[in-house]
Chain A
Amino acid sequence: MSRARAWREALPVGAVAGALLLVAVVVLVSAGADLRTALSALWIGSLGSRYALLSATLVRATPLILLGLSVTLAFRAGVLNIGAEGQFIAGASAGGAVALATAAVLPGPVSLLVALTTGVVAGGVWAAVAAELRRRFGVLEVISTLMLNFIALYGVSYLVHGPLQEPTHVYPQSATLPMVARLPFVFDGQRLHVGFILAVLLGLALWYVFARTAAGFRIRITGAGAAAAASAGAVDTARVSFLAFIASGAIAGGAGAVEVTGVTYTLFERISPGYGYSAIAVALLARLHPVAVIGAGVFFGALEAGAAAMQRDAGVPSQFASILEALAILGVLAVDRLRARRQEAAP
């Protein structure tokens, strides 16, 4: 990429960021918050302190990055997988259940590995239901995956009220994982777990797959021009999108298992506060670029962590984060639209 082109790409992003900051200030002022306190809480609670960064922001960012990559893979293949939420819950439930069952009988690392693998498989299976419906009957995946999200949600609700409920049967959650079955921390005394490193590595790997490998190229042409891929390239596009769909679900399932073994250590109904939906926003903000997903995930993680701090210290409702997230997406979409129009207008 030439320097001029890099600038042209970066400029709108900068403009959106500036507009966001401006809107943030307007919202805060109109909400009657003390601007100084609020902004300083936002900063210190997100990136401005070592603790906030390593125990809040990046911990929060991990599922967003993993699920953002799941969505990116599907969307790049032309599969509108809205079901990262459900696949995440499936992975968390299966991974959590296996971890609880094996922690006592297997050595810690082995149990952990089995749990993570089970999460990956469960997410893939959950997506395979929709993928098969699409392949065989042409069922729109937007609808089927959304429906499967609800089934997953009610499924986990049943599990934590029934077979997986903790021994005292008081709380609607599972027993707590023993120490040996938990993901190790990256730094002593900070909540950041190795799942974050996995997420970053996966982002780089996916970028490599898209940019350099034949399989990645087939995924991209299937998404960007299925008819041309089938006609000019003789690619079996139905197969490519089917496999990408399942791989997307597998990543989401893995993210669920990582969340249970790395953060919550227990399974409960609200294991995902809508991560799967935020992840769509993360992927779109990153414009479906795997490496940019890492940045977008950290950005959303920082916003949410900072918003929580603002609520604590300045009484600003934490929905503030959602407002900024939505605005960021709208900004990116507007920039894309403008760019497309400029290209159309040019002969």
Chain B
Amino acid sequence: MSDPALSLRGVSKRFGRTLALDGAELHVQPGTIHALLGENGAGKSTLMRIAFGELRADDGVVALAGTNREWSSSADAIAVGIGMVHQHFTLVPALTVAENVALGDRGFWGGYTPARAAERVRKIGTQTGLVLDPTARVADLSVGAQQRLEIVKALARNARVLILDEPTAVLSPRESAELYGWLREFVAGGGTGILITHKLREALTLADDVTVLRHGRTVLQSAVSEVTEASVVTALLGDARGPRVGSARRSPRGMRTDAPVVELRRVSMKDARGVLRLREATVAVCAGEILGVAGIEGAGQFDLLRILAGRRAPSSGTVTLPSRIGFVPEDRLRDAIVPTMSPAENVALHDARHFRGHMPWRELESEAVAIIAEYDVRPTDSATIGALSGGNQQKFVLGRELRGSPQLLVVENPTRGLDIRAAAFVLDRIRSAQDSGCAVIVYSSDLDELLTLAERMLVCHAGEVREVPVEMEAIGRAMVGIT
């Protein structure tokens, strides 16, 4: 067998008191797609940041094509052909596509001209099929296009080993399929791909090999052909019995009435530039019902959900909403929490408008403690919400929004970026809210998730909202506008 394209041996890394990596191993054969799996905090991202030169290992060896390497920064890793696409994009929104690609080129007199930079983007586009308009401003690109740009950036520096950190977390199913199709071609052409993901099924259909990390140790290294979904889940979760994954849809036990608690009638929404984002949407949701919403990026669901959550007023149409609404937005770091503040302050955030006079901090503290206990937020004594992992932040936000039993819960991408255990927990809580008579509206870019949760489905396409049967096929067709 040839030397691995990238090899990490016995890598350890300590942050303060926590040992993030404990002798982790990863060996990636050239010309393969390698899936790196693990729960939140298992050390996947840390390991890849070490491979990419962003962090230094305390111990262990990084080898590229059989040669031991030491990076002093990611520039060294880029120079020898490693590229990384981070989960959170590293683009400059105000610059154009070509300028973003040219950023980071070496040399002061490097001969940058707009024409040459644009030419390079076009050339990569024709060679790889990752077509982008070099003159478009990044701020105007869709999320899928931004992701393509991140890959083009890496390819422009001749990356042969490409690390993708949760690449499909923000993509619609169609965009994900496109990305994976491209990745296969890249690998067929001699490139090597490393895929960090939470989506087990995707990883197992796409990858050639799989490595599983748990608590900073490598617990499984195998060809995908030799593992089963069940054996990977066992490796991910350890001996403890895993939670139900994707448990089947079931009929709700709770009370339900046929009188809708939420009603939108012929609701339209224009954005600041006067472009119609949502056209005459009519929606009704009853208590104890879960309504699923799907749509590709920019199809109108963003505005629809904010109108349903009472966060935005429509341009026209009538809206009937209950008084108590819980809302879990998809960008929780920006829209749901203040990361620098304490749990109690983040509890207070929820009704910030309604407080008068003095803040009842003592009660808020005990409410925060109650949410942290009931929703299994760990660690339990975090001084700020920002210090929690994404999954724990999500559990906290959900706990806060479900406090005081709302009549309506609006949730966007409830399990994005969460590990299996946290995701199962969140879905469970959404179901129990439903059981207690709460109307639930869920948007997700993960269709499997919608299929397990929703009893009725709405699909947005180009601002039109349609109800469709709860079937993969029907939803997928409606999302791309086939009627």
Chain A residues proximal to chain B, CB less than 8 Å? 5, 212-214, 216-218, 220-221, 224-225, 227-229, 231-236, 342-343, 345-347
Contact = CB atoms under 8 A, between A and B. Distances in A.
Greatest chain A CB density within 10 A among B16, B20, B353, B383 is at B353
Interface string B1-41: 00000000000000110101000000000000000000001
Greatest chain A CB density within 10 A among B16, B336, B349, B358 is at B349
B338 A347 contact: no
B387 A346 contact: yes
Contact of B327 (A217, A220, A232): A232
B359 A346 contact: no
B335 A228 contact: yes
Nearest to A218: B352
Contacts of B226: none
15 contacts: A213-B357, A213-B358, A217-B359, A218-B355, A221-B352, A224-B340, A225-B337, A225-B340, A228-B338, A229-B349, A231-B335, A232-B350, A233-B353, A346-B16, A347-B41
Interface of B: 15-16, 18, 20, 41, 46, 311, 327, 329, 334-341, 345, 348-353, 355-359, 361, 383, 386-387, 389
Contact of B349 (A212, A233, A236, A343): A233
Contact of B359 (A213, A225, A233): A213
B335 A347 contact: no
Nearest to B339: A225
B68 to A, nearest CB: 25
B319 to A, nearest CB: 15
A214 B46 contact: no
Contacts of B329: 231-232
B353 A347 contact: no
B174 to A, nearest CB: 28
A346 B15 contact: yes
Contacts of B15: 345-347
A253 B327 CA distance: 42
Greatest chain B CB density within 10 A among A234, A345, A347 is at A347
A231 B355 CA distance: 16
A229 B357 contact: no
Contacts of A345: 15-16
Given A220-B345, A228-B336, 6 more contacts: A212-B359, A214-B352, A232-B327, A232-B336, A345-B15, A346-B18
A232 B41 contact: no
Contacts of B353: 218, 233-236
Contacts of A5: 383
B184 to A, nearest CB: 32
A229 B386 CA distance: 16
Closest 8 CB pairs of A and B: A233-B352, A214-B355, A225-B338, A231-B335, A234-B353, A346-B15, A227-B334, A224-B338
Contacts of A231: 311, 327, 329, 335-336
A347 B294 CA distance: 32
A41 to B, nearest CB: 42
A225 B333 CA distance: 9
A69 B196 CA distance: 48
Given A217-B345, A342-B16, A232 B358 contact: no
A228 B358 contact: no
B389 A228 contact: no
B254 to A, nearest CB: 26
A232 B385 CA distance: 15
A125 to B, nearest CB: 28
Contacts of A224: 338, 340-341
Greatest chain B CB density within 10 A among A218, A221, A225, A234 is at A225
Contact of A221 (B327, B341, B387): B341
A228 B337 contact: yes
A230 to B, nearest CB: 8
B341 to A, nearest CB: 6
B337 A232 contact: yes
Contact of A214 (B41, B339, B350, B359): B359
B387 A232 contact: no
A212 B356 CA distance: 11
Nearest to B351: A233
A234 B336 CA distance: 11
A84 to B, nearest CB: 24
A213 B349 CA distance: 13
B215 to A, nearest CB: 12
Given A214-B359, A217-B359, A231-B336, A347 B352 contact: no
Nearest to A223: B338
B358 to A, nearest CB: 5
Contacts of B334: 225, 227-228
Contacts of A216: 359
A217 B361 CA distance: 11
Given A224-B340, A228-B338, A233-B351, A347 B358 contact: no
Contacts of B20: 347
A198 to B, nearest CB: 24
B324 to A, nearest CB: 13
Nearest to A5: B383
B21 to A, nearest CB: 10
A105 to B, nearest CB: 41
A37 B16 CA distance: 46
A146 to B, nearest CB: 23
A345 B15 CA distance: 6
B336 A233 contact: no
B292 to A, nearest CB: 22
Contact of B387 (A225, A235, A343): A343
B14 to A, nearest CB: 10
Contacts of B358: 212-214
B135 to A, nearest CB: 26
Contacts of B357: 213-214
Contacts of B356: 214
A225 B16 CA distance: 28
Nearest to B328: A232
A235 B352 contact: yes
A228 B311 CA distance: 11
Given A228-B334, A228-B335, A347-B18, A217 B340 contact: no
Greatest chain A CB density within 10 A among B338, B383, B386, B387 is at B338
A217 B340 CA distance: 13
A228 B16 contact: no
Contacts of B345: 217, 220-221
Contacts of B351: 233
A218 B352 CA distance: 7
A291 B188 CA distance: 64
A227 B335 contact: yes
A231 B400 CA distance: 14
Nearest to B384: A343
Contacts of A221: 338, 341, 345, 349, 352
Nearest to A343: B387
Nearest to B360: A214
A220 B359 CA distance: 13
Contacts of B341: 220-221, 224-225
